[in-house]
C-alpha cells in the first residue's frame, strides 16, 4: 500500500499513521461517506523476510499471519463498544486483506501524559473508561484478552473518551481458539505484561487487569511499577517483586481505596486481582460529578468531560439526547436506578438471585439505554452488572 492507493474504489489512502511488525495503519478518505477512516493492511514482505530461505516455513508463517489478521477483524466486530475502536469494513487490496476502522482524532495516552499532570478525578475517569472496555471484553462469549494493553494502545479522542486500539494479538479465551504462537511464547509489551504472560502461561481477562494496574500506577505516579528501561530485569520483577504502593511515589495524596485497588490489580496470582466491575465500583466515588468545574489546569482532550456533564447540558463526549418519553410514561430516576443496581449487585455477591436483578435486566436497563443513551456512565455500569448477573444466575428472571 502507498499514498494515493484506492481500495475497493472507496478508501483513498492519505498518509501512513504507523507501522508494526506485521501491519501498517493508514489514514484514509472514505469516498462513499465522506468520513476519515483508518485502514490497517498487512506487511507480509517485512515479517516473512526471515523465512525466505525455507519455502515450507514461509508458507506456514504467511498462512498464520493471514489467519491472525482475520481474527482481529472478527474480534472488533464482536466487541462493538464506545471505549473500543469501531470496526467498519474489511476487504482485499490485491492479494492482501485490510481492515477499516474509525479514525480516532486525538492523542495516545502516552502523548496525553507527556502534556498533562493528572488530578485523582481525571485518573479515575481514565481508569473507569478502560475498565468499561475490559468489562465488555471479559463478559462476551468467549471472553477476549487484549494481550498488549499499554499507553500507546489507548487513545484519548477529542471528546475525552478513552478508546482501546490495536487488537492484532487479542485472543478469545476458548479451548477451540487456534493459537498462532507456540505455548510459552511471550507476546506484548514487557513493561505492562502480567506474570503469566511473561511465563507464557494460559491467559484470562485478569491478565489485562494486571496491565490496567500498571497503567493506573503510571497515571498516579508518572512511572510504571517497574522501570521499562531496565529491560533485562522486567520479567523477574513482574513475576517476583511487589512494587511500593503508588501513594509512596505520587506527588499528591492518593486515596487509600485506589492505592489498595492498584496493588490488588498488580497481584501475582490472577485469582487475587479484581474484575473490571470491581475496579469500576472502587473508583466510582472518586469520579467527577455532574456540574463539577473543569480541571484547572485544563486538560485537552478532557477525559472528565462526560462525567461532569449535566442532563440539560451534555458534554461533547456524552450520549445523544434521549428520545421524548411516550405520553403517560415517567422518566427514570437516577437515584432509584442506582439503588436498584446496588440491590442487584448485593444479590450477586450473596449468590441468591432476586427482584433487584430481575428489575435491572428486564426493565431498567432497556429503559435506561433508551432514555440516557449507551455512553451514559450509569448505563455502562448497569450493562456490566447485568452481564455479571446473567453469568451467575442465567437471565435473571428466576428467584
Ranges 79-93, 179-193, 262-276, 364-378, most confident: 262-276
Q: What's residue 328's pLDDT?
A: 37
Binding-site residues for ATP, in ranges, read 40
CB-neighbour burial class of residue 56 (10 A; exposed 0-12, middle 13-18, buried 19+): exposed
Angle in degrees, 0-180, between the axes of helices 276-283 and 205-221, rounded to the nearest 10: 30
More confidently predicted of 69 and 144: 144
Rounded Cα gap, residues 212 and 279, in angstroms: 10
Q: Is residue 283 a contact partner of residue 295, using CB atoms and an 8 Å limit?
A: no
- Please give the mean pLDDT across all residues of the chain: 84
Q: How confident is the model at residue 318 (pLDDT cuts 50, 70, 90)?
A: very low
pLDDT over threshold 80, residue 193: yes
Q: Is residue 383 a contact partner of residue 365, using CB atoms and an 8 Å limit?
A: yes
Of 19-33, 108-122, 274-288, 337-351, the one with minimum mean pLDDT is 337-351
Query: Which amino acids are annotated catalytic?
Result: 148
Q: Number of helices (H) and strands (E), helices first, in the chain?
A: 14, 11
Among 265, 251, 288, residue whose Cα is nearest residue 210: 265
Share of the chain above pLDDT 70, in %: 86
Cell numbers at 396, concatenated:
435473571
More confidently predicted of 399 and 135: 135
Q: What's residue 319's pLDDT?
A: 37
Q: What's residue 177's pLDDT?
A: 52
List, for residues 380-395, the tens digit of each pLDDT value.
888 888 877 877 777 5
Q: Is residue 134 a contact partner of residue 107, using CB atoms and an 8 Å limit?
A: no
Among 277, 366, 369, 373, residue whose Cα is nearest residue 317: 373
pLDDT over threshold 70, residue 78: yes
pLDDT over threshold 90, residue 264: yes
Q: What's residue 179's pLDDT?
A: 52
* Sequence-ordered list of residues with C-beta below 8 angstroms from that of 168, at least 6 positions apart, any chain: 20, 22, 23, 68, 69, 72, 148
More confidently predicted of 372 and 205: 205
Q: What's residue 14's pLDDT?
A: 97
The DSSP output letter for 70 is H
Rounded Cα gap, residues 90 and 39, in angstroms: 9
Of 100-109, 255-264, 305-314, the one with minimum mean pLDDT is 305-314
Q: What's residue 183's pLDDT?
A: 44
More confidently predicted of 81 and 65: 81
| CA distance from start to end of the chain | 57
Share of the chain above pLDDT 90, in %: 47
Q: What's residue 113's pLDDT?
A: 96
Q: How confident is the model at residue 213 (pLDDT cuts 50, 70, 90)?
A: very high
List, for residues 113-157, the tens digit of each pLDDT value.
999 999 999 999 999 999 999 998 988 888 999 999 999 999 999
Q: How confident is the model at residue 225 (pLDDT cuts 50, 70, 90)?
A: very high
Q: What's residue 220's pLDDT?
A: 96
Domains and CATH numbers, the chain: 6-102 (3.30.200.20), 106-286 (1.10.510.10), 319-393 (no CATH)
Residue 28, SS3? Answer: strand
> Can you tell me which residue has the cell 456533564?
309
Q: What's residue 391's pLDDT?
A: 76
More confidently predicted of 96 and 189: 96
CB-neighbour burial class of residue 229 (10 A; exposed 0-12, middle 13-18, buried 19+): exposed
Type and span of the H or E element at 103 = none
* Sequence-ordered list of residues with C-beta below 8 angstroms from that of 353, at least 6 positions apart, any chain: 347, 389, 392, 393, 394, 396, 398, 399
Q: How confident is the model at residue 344 (pLDDT cuts 50, 70, 90)?
A: confident
Among 217, 260, 220, 213, residue whose Cα is nearest residue 120: 220
- Mean pLDDT of the region 291-295: 93
Cis bond leading into 142, ω under 30°?
yes
Q: What's residue 120's pLDDT?
A: 94
Q: What are all long-range contacts of 15-20, with beta carbons under 8 Å and residues at least 24 apart? A: 19/43, 20/166, 20/168
Give start and end residues of each alpha helix (H) in the chain.
Answer: 44-47, 55-79, 109-115, 120-139, 195-198, 205-221, 234-240, 256-265, 276-283, 305-308, 334-350, 355-359, 365-372, 377-393
Q: Is residue 53 a contact partner of residue 10, using CB atoms and an 8 Å limit?
A: no
Among 379, 378, 296, residue whose Cα is nearest residue 121: 296
pTM of the model: 0.78
Of 44-58, 62-76, 203-217, the one with minimum mean pLDDT is 44-58
Q: What's residue 323's pLDDT?
A: 34
CB-neighbour burial class of residue 48 (10 A; exposed 0-12, middle 13-18, buried 19+): middle
Q: How confident is the model at residue 336 (pLDDT cuts 50, 70, 90)?
A: confident
Q: How confident is the model at residue 175 (pLDDT cuts 50, 70, 90)?
A: low
Q: Is residue 204 a contact partner of residue 267, using CB atoms and an 8 Å limit?
A: no
Amino acid at each position: 500500500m502507498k499514498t494515493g492507493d484506492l481500495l475497493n474504489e472507496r478508501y483513498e489512502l492519505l498518509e501512513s499513521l504507523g507501522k508494526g511488525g506485521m501491519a501498517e495503519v493508514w489514514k484514509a478518505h472514505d469516498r462513499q461517506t465522506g468520513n476519515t477512516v483508518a485502514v490497517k493492511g498487512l506487511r507480509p514482505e517485512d515479517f516473512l523476510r526471515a523465512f525466505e530461505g525455507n519455502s515450507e516455513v514461509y508458507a506456514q508463517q504467511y498462512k498464520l499471519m493471514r489467519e491472525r489478521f482475520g481474527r482481529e477483524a472478527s474480534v472488533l466486530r464482536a466487541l462493538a463498544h464506545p471505549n473500543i475502536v469501531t470496526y467498519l469494513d474489511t476487504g482485499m487490496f490485491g492479494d492482501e486483506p485490510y481492515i477499516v476502522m474509525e479514525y480516532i482524532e486525538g492523542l495516545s495516552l502516552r502523548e496525553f501524559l507527556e502534556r498533562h499532570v493528572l488530578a485523582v478525578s481525571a485518573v479515575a475517569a481514565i481508569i473507569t473508561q478502560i475498565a468499561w472496555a475490559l468489562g465488555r471484553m471479559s463478559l462476551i462469549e468467549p471472553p477476549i484478552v487484549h494481550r498488549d494493553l499499554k499507553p500507546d494502545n489507548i487513545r484519548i479522542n477529542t471528546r475525552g473518551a478513552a478508546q482501546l486500539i490495536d487488537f492484532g494479538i487479542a485472543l478469545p479465551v476458548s479451548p477451540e481458539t487456534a493459537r498462532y504462537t507456540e505455548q510459552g511464547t511471550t507476546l506484548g509489551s514487557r513493561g505492562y505484561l502480567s506474570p503469566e504472560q511473561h511465563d507464557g502461561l494460559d491467559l484470562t481477562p485478569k491478565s489485562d487487569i494486571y496491565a490496567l494496574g500498571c497503567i493506573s500506577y503510571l497515571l498516579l505516579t508518572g512511572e510504571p511499577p517497574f522501570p521499562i528501561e531496565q529491560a533485562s530485569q522486567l520479567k523477574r520483577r513482574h513475576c517476583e517483586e511487589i512494587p511500593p504502593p503508588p501513594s509512596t511515589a505520587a506527588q499528591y495524596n492518593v486515596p487509600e481505596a485506589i492505592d489498595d485497588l492498584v496493588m490488588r490489580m498488580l497481584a501475582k496470582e490472577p485469582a487475587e486481582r479484581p474484575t473490571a466491575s470491581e475496579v469500576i465500583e472502587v473508583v466510582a466515588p472518586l469520579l467527577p460529578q455532574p456540574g463539577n468545574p473543569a480541571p484547572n489546569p485544563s486538560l485537552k482532550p478532557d477525559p472528565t468531560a462526560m462525567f461532569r456533564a449535566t442532563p440539560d447540558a451534555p458534554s461533547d463526549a456524552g450520549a445523544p439526547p434521549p428520545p421524548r418519553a411516550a405520553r403517560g410514561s415517567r422518566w427514570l430516576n437516577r437515584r432509584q436506578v442506582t439503588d436498584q443496581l446496588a440491590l442487584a449487585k448485593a444479590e450477586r455477591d450473596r449468590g441468591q438471585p432476586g427482584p433487584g436483578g430481575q428489575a435491572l435486566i428486564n426493565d431498567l436497563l432497556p429503559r435506561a439505554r433508551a432514555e440516557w443513551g449507551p455512553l451514559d456512565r450509569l448505563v455502562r455500569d448497569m450493562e456490566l452488572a447485568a452481564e455479571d448477573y446473567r453469568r451467575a444466575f442465567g437471565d435473571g428472571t428466576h428467584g
